[in-house]
Amino acid sequence: MKILAVGDLVGNSGMKELKKQLEEIKREETIDFVIVNAENVAEGMGITKKNFEDILSLKVDVITMGNHTWGKKDIFQFIDHPKLIRPANYPKGVVGKGYNIYTCQDKKIAVINLIGRVDINVLSENPFIRVKEIIEKIKDKVDMIFVDFHAEATAEKIAMGYFLDGKVTAVFGTHTHVQTADEKILPKGTGYITDIGMTGPKYSVIGMDIEASLKRFETTLPERYKIASGECIFNGVIFEIDDTNNQVKSMKRLYQ
């Protein structure tokens, strides 16, 4: 089995790039299951109903979110859809689901979404404690567990990888929009990569217009961010699973 995780969709350009490339990638790589992070798809902040429907039309299996989960009010119309999950370590009682279990080729696949706490301006619960609680609850009900850890600090992401090594199938990082070249299978068998990158404008500052970004850094004055235009990239990672033991046997980064 092959599972594809697609890096943060950034704006309409990221959505167009997903439409352009996903079907061909699924066919060429014989992908069975697709996870897409879409917390930036609504021009950098949140997701609209149209965005959501467009992504589902591409036969994506799971849509994960992050610190901009509530960026667009539209989300409250579809927050309970089974294919949408938001960070599980938002405070208890918050609408939506932090994880869900899906069936693919007679395998039960759990996908968990978490948000980091280092250098992220979100009042969330401890992701390490929360994910441990979830795994304890579902470990005997599923064949595989994938974790999208939406976090800023590389140290926090790496720590999460080792914390979950041997407990989940794979941990992949999102949020920083820069693909890392550290994909590996950890000592106890868990597939890991610090960040899978973004799907959006190639010549940009993590998806944003270069001139607007430079003005902010050069002058320190407020400048409204806007999505960059031009050529786009598709970022993601493919996890190839050994069907006999449900562990990752290889990983392949996509940067195209």
Selection from 2, 22, 4 nearest residue 232 by Cα: 22
Query: Is 177 a residue of the active site?
Result: no
Reference 248, options 206, 198, 193; nearest CA is 193
Predicted structure pTM score: 0.96
User: Amino acid letter at 236?
Assistant: G
pLDDT at 223: 82
> E strands within 7-127?
8-9, 33-37, 62-64, 84-85, 99-104, 107-115
What pLDDT is recorded for position 159?
98
Which bin fits 166, alpha (ψ -120 to 50), beta or left (φ > 0)?
left
Q: What is the pLDDT of residue 8?
A: 97
Instruction: Mention every residue, 6+ apart, whose C-beta is less than 8 A from residue 123.
Output: 91
pLDDT digits (tens, 9 = 90+) for 84-114: 999 999 999 999 999 999 999 999 999 999 9
Measured in residues, the chain has a length of 256
Average pLDDT, the chain: 97
* The pLDDT value given to residue 222: 83
In terms of pLDDT, which residue wins out, 122 or 238? 238
Cα 245 to Cα 179: distance, rounded to the nearest angstrom: 28
Sketch the domain layout of the chain as residue ranges.
Answer: 2-255
Residue 246 has pLDDT above 90, yes or no: yes
In a 3-state reduction of DSSP, which class is residue 236? strand
Three-state DSSP class for residue 194: coil
What's the pLDDT at 182?
98
pLDDT band at 224 (very low <50, low <70, confident <90, very high): confident
Task: For residues 256 and 236, give the distance between their C-alpha atoms in angstroms, rounded to a whole number.
Answer: 9
What pLDDT, on the 0 to 100 scale, is given for residue 86? 98
Q: How does pLDDT run across 161-211, given as a tens digit for each residue? A: 999 999 999 999 999 999 999 999 999 999 999 999 999 999 999 999 999
Q: Measured on CA atoms in the order 74, 205, 233, 127, is the torsion positive or negative?
A: negative
pLDDT digits (tens, 9 = 90+) for 2-56: 999 999 999 999 999 999 999 999 999 999 999 999 999 999 999 999 999 999 9
Distance of CA 136 to CAs 113, 129, 200, 228, 255, Å? 16, 11, 36, 43, 35
Q: Cβ distance 201 to 44 under 8 Å?
A: no
Which pLDDT belongs to residue 17?
98
Fold of 2-255: Purple Acid Phosphatase; chain A, domain 2 (3.60.21)
Q: What is the pLDDT of residue 164?
A: 98
